[in-house]
Amino acid sequence: MKDLTDTRWIKLKGVMLLLAGLFASLLLLCEHPTLKTAVLLAAAVWSFTRFYYFAFYVIEHYVDPVYRFSGLWSFARYLIQRKRHPKEKP
């Protein structure tokens, strides 16, 4: 698959992802309109965004400056390879 480089398509993709998330959240809250559901949904969204930031920014800038993030699959491969071939210095 070719990399997406056109800024208009990148922005459209971002808007579509935002709308998909809002729509899914709205449907979930309509089906279970409770404060508990809203708080758990907010906690899940916040936790996943913080994990993505961790995988993307923290590892690349603070743990392993050689690592370059290209997606969550590359991060999973990075974790698996590090377990098999530890490169950490004491």
Neighbours of 51 (CB within 10 A): 13
pLDDT for 3 beyond 50: yes
Q: Amino acid identity of 73?
A: W
Contact indicator for 59, 72 with CB cutoff of 8 Å:
no
What average pLDDT does the structure give for the chain? 87
The pLDDT value recorded for residue 90 is 47
Average pLDDT over residues 1-27: 91
The SS3 of residue 64 is coil
pTM of the model: 0.67
Please give the DSSP secondary-structure letter assigned to residue 11.
Answer: H
Q: Amino acid identity of 8?
A: R
How is the chain split into domains, by residue range?
1-32, 34-90
What pLDDT, in 10s, does the model give residues 23-43?
Answer: 999 999 999 999 999 999 999
What pLDDT, in 10s, does the model give residues 72-89?
Answer: 888 888 888 876 555 555
